[in-house]
Amino acid sequence: MNLWKTIIPVTAVALAAVASIPLYSSPYIISLLFFLFTFVGLAIAYDIFGGFSGYYNLGFGAFFAIGAYTFPILSLGRLGFQTHPIIAFIAAPLFSGVAAFLLSYPFLRLRGAYFAVATFGLIPLMYNLARNLSTITGGASGIQIVITEFFGMLPGFYIAMAVTVAAAVTHHLIGRSRVGLALRSIKEDEDVASEYGINGFAVKRLVYVISGMYAGLLGANFGFGLGVVSPDGVLNLEIALAPLIMTIFGGPASLTGAILGGSLITLIQEFLWLNIPFFHLATYGLIILLVAIFAPQGVVRIRFRRRLGRVPVAAPLNT
């Protein structure tokens, strides 16, 4: 516990330092921090379900999008009634949570690749719904959120930071709780876990909903910060698959991994967008390929593996 006595104050000081950055820096830095915290938060939220349980939730971006759309749809009265922005902001994660709860019935009964493949379908589903329901969602051009002194990047950054810290605490608590233990045993062997009395479906659903709610909250904040929510803005595959790439890059089922993966991938993408006129998608792909080759367990586990040496592992032939 001595370690925690140092980690908590150090983290608090670091966060306070980051929170003070907008006081003396340019709008570019604020927007960069906004994206950074949004994506680190998404990576952590993804990892709460995907990392611990070993399920690859390729449809995670759908919950992000539901949150992103719920906020302007409710606060701008797209459905015929207008709610207070704060209520709309609170409703966003709830809607994502309800969607996750309902979608758990078709999806969480699937395992392994089946789950990954089926949830992937949610991204084009949401994308096409967002484009087609144009009276509600504004179609391809999306919804503009009028930026006043209340809205915008700066409060968005603080909210993203707060949500990310909350997600990190949740990740930590779940990792140490019985639920986390149950998820790890599900990752090892779901059938054996259920033999030992773990209600796999209920545990997975609980965490799936929590993970989806954080995504919804960050989604609402994303639209709020950018001032526009459009299908190509919140549902493109780069954003939808970013949390998955980030957690594998950093190392799944690890808070450090999610934070590291989230920040490194965001910074790499930012660097590529700024410095490479052509082929930034290809370059990004090349970087991911290098990760898959050299750090398939995530960057946080590179050193660990070297120290242990290559442990001969029997190949699971029919998994």
Partner 1 sequence: MSVETHLTIILGGILLGGIYGLIALGLTMVFGVSRILNVAHGDFVILGSIFGLIVTTLSGQSPFLILPLIPPLFFAAGILFEKTMVRRVIMRNTENTLAVSILATLAFAMIVEDISFFGLGQAGLNYVSLQVFLQPINILGFIIPTTRFISLIATVMLALAARMIIQSTTFGRRLRATIQDRELAEVVGVNVSRMSALSFGFGAALAGISGLFLAMITSLTPFQGLQFTVIALTVVILGGLGSFTGSIVGGLVIGIAEAYTAFLWGTNWARVVAIIVMIAVLVVKPSGIFGGRR
Tally of CA atoms within 13 A in the half-sphere of 140 that contains its CB: 0
Residue 74: what residue type? L
Instruction: Sort strands 228-229 and 143-144 into parallel, antiparallel or unpaired.
Output: antiparallel
Residues 122, 174, 210, 215: which binds partner 1 (CB under 8 A)?
Answer: 122
Residues 113, 169, 173, 302: which binds partner 1 (CB under 8 A)?
Answer: 113
Question: Which pair of structure tokens corresponds to residue 76?
Answer: 């701008």
The interface mask with partner 1, positions 162-181, x = CB under 8 A, is --------------------
Instruction: For residue 30, give every residue at least 6 positions away whose Cβ sits within 8 Å of its Cβ, in sequence order, or none.
Output: 21, 22, 153, 154, 157
Min dist CB 269 to partner 1, Å, is 12
Applying CB under 8 A, which part among 15-23, 120-128, 167-175, 216-224 lies near partner 1?
A: 120-128
**What's the Cα-to-Cα distance from 83 to each of 80, 88, 224, rounded to whole Å?**
10, 6, 15
Of 193-232, binders to partner 1 (CB under 8 A) are none
Under 8 Å between Cβ of 70 and 91:
yes
Residue 55: what residue type? Y
Min dist CB 106 to partner 1, Å, is 4
Of 259-298, binders to partner 1 (CB under 8 A) are 278-282, 284-289, 291-293, 296-297
Q: Smallest Cα–Cα separation from 72: which of 46, 101, 40, 95?
A: 95
**Counting contacts by CB under 8 A, is residue 52 touching partner 1?**
no
Min dist CB 290 to partner 1, Å, is 9
User: Where do contacts with partner 1 occur on this chain (CB under 8 A)?
Assistant: 56, 58, 103, 105-107, 109-114, 116-118, 120-125, 128-129, 131-132, 237, 241, 244-245, 248, 252, 278-282, 284-289, 291-293, 296-297, 313, 315-319
